Amino acid sequence: MDQILFIVFAAIAVLCGINLVLQSHPISSALSLVGVMGALALIYLQLGGEFIAAAQLIVYAGAIMVLFIFVIMLLNAGRERETPRRLWVRWAGLPLLFLFIALMAYVVQRILPPSDEVRFGSYTFGTAEAIGTRLFTTYLLPFEITSVLILIAIVGAIVLARKEVE
């Protein structure tokens, strides 16, 4: 059952990822990216990451993608123009991509012991309680620095996007 669920969600993620790269309209790409993120959230859940799965859906698929779609609608971004590319880029790009994936798969298969299997429910450190305890004890300083980072990002975004006033 675990394997079937993984294959289904992985297939959804990969197909949506391919669609993201191939679509020429940014709205189609954005909706494909939402699909990838939803599928990945379910895979996180299978790996025992309850908190991260919820955060993925709320922060990524919810907040960030709404921001993207908002900007696409605001700028009225249309279909992408086809620009001519160099010959070797057109012919060597896809084989290089497959070579990279094949190399990664080979290395991963060689390094990891084949007996190691993932089963749903055997990992219990991913609950909100466990993550919260860790976040507010061991990782307290990074957490606080992150809040400063977000503050800087908010100020930066407002400064960049405001209208100039004399």
Q: Which of residues 113-152 bind other proteins (CB under 8 A)?
A: 114, 116-119, 123, 125-126, 130-131, 134-135, 139, 142, 146, 149-150, 152
Instruction: Give residue for tokens 């949506």.
Output: 16
State in angstroms the smallest separation of the CB of 19 from other proteins.
10
Compute the distance between CA of residue 48 and CA of residue 121 in angstroms, rounded to an integer.
6
With respect to other proteins, which residue has the nearer C-beta, 87 or 150?
Answer: 150
Q: Does 47 contact other proteins by CB under 8 A?
A: yes
Residue 15 · residue 32 · CB < 8 Å: no
With respect to other proteins, which residue has the nearer C-beta, 80 or 91?
Answer: 80
Report the b/e string of 16-34 with b at 16+ CB within 10 A.
beebbeebeebeebbbbbb
How crowded is residue 68: how many other Cβ atoms within 10 Å of its Cβ?
16
To which H or E segment does residue 26 belong? helix 26-46
State in angstroms the smallest separation of the CB of 156 from other proteins.
5
Q: What is the DSSP letter of 25?
A: S
Taking alpha carbons only, the member of 69, 47, 44 closest to residue 57 is: 44
Q: Does 42 contact other proteins by CB under 8 A?
A: no
With respect to other proteins, which residue has the nearer C-beta, 2 or 91?
Answer: 2
In degrees to the nearest 10, what's the CA dihedral of 48, 55, 138, 140?
Answer: -170
Q: Which of residues 74-113 bind other proteins (CB under 8 A)?
A: 74-75, 77, 80-81, 83, 85, 93, 97, 100-101, 104-105, 108-109, 112
Q: Does 8 contact other proteins by CB under 8 A?
A: no
Q: Does 26 contact other proteins by CB under 8 A?
A: yes
To which H or E segment does residue 104 belong? helix 87-111
State in angstroms the smallest separation of the CB of 157 from other proteins.
4
State in angstroms the smallest separation of the CB of 56 from other proteins.
7
State in angstroms the smallest separation of the CB of 166 from other proteins.
17
